[in-house]
Each structure stands twice: as C-alpha cells, then as structure tokens.
Structure 1
C-alpha cells in the first residue's frame, strides 16, 4: 500500500580544477510503502518505480517477503470468491 513520499538532501564536496573544494547537494525522492503481505513499512527510490504503481490499485511486497508466494495466495482468494454460487448464504460484505 502506498503511504507517502519524502525528500532527502545529501551534501557532497567536489574538487575543482584549481584545487578548491566546492559543496553541492542532491535531492532524492523516496517512496514509503506498506507491505500487503506482512504489513511492514519499506522504502524505495521514486526513480526506480513505475509512476503507475504509485497508488493503492497495485499490491506492494517488501524485500523480505516472497512476491510469487503472495501473488499465488491472492489468486486462490480470488478464485474462491468467483466460484461462489449465486444462492449462497454468504453476506456480500464478508467477501
């Protein structure tokens, strides 16, 4: 689940042609997600993520979890939901 974006600023020093040191800074935009499998928060660089995936329509899995196992669990849940009969007595809010 997408939570928020943050910016960090890193400061560096470079050596110029005449031997002088010049300070400069770089901004990095970080995206914070909540894992849909284990509910832990994790951070990714915004430049490494497709802009379409920065929403809650997609599932986000942290590096500690197995994404293929998570996808397979989601597929099983969806199949169970779709195979229900119309006249079943299960309330629609519990699906």
Structure 2
C-alpha cells in the first residue's frame, strides 16, 4: 500500500484518527464484502448489504478472499447440516445392510 501511494510511510505507527484520514468509503465497503463472505453470507445477500452488483462483489472476492482451511470447514459443515443434503448424509451414515438410510 505504501509503494502505490495509498498509505504513507509509518502508517502502522499512526494514531487511529490519522489512519482514518487515509481510508476511503470504498475501502471499508470492499472489506465488508470480504468479511461477510468469510462469515458465510451468500453473494446476493452481500450485495443487498453493500450495494455492489453481483459482478462487482464477485470480482472483489476473487481478488481479496483467501481460500483458508476455515472457509473449507465452514462449507463442509454447511453442506452436512443442510436439509437439502440430509438424505445423502443418512445414506452415508447408515449401518451396512440397514434400511435406516432409506
């Protein structure tokens, strides 16, 4: 950020009020997109909050959202707990030769 002129030298040491002078509304809004996605919010819902288009929010996430183990675990947990996947989950956890999963 310093190299491209968005943050001055010594930015990390500045008091909070001085740091705020270097923030733009779009910085905060873009950060909100990323934080909402990390919290498991769907892109259409993110757009409803931030006012971005689907295309714009997707571009922000493609650029800034880190694919972390926490996101992977959250996705699997959501899949396993979704009513839409309950039947498949019962099939996988049923005892062999059992009709419980059917």
Shorter chain as denominator, the TM-score bin is under 0.3
Q: Which has the higher helix share?
A: 2
Please tell me whether Structure 1 or Structure 2 has the larger radius of gyration of its CA atoms. Answer: 1
Query: TM (normalized to structure 1)?
Result: 0.28
Query: TM (normalized to structure 2)?
Result: 0.26
Q: Which has the higher strand share?
A: 1
* Larger RCO (CA within 8 A; separation ≥ 6): 1
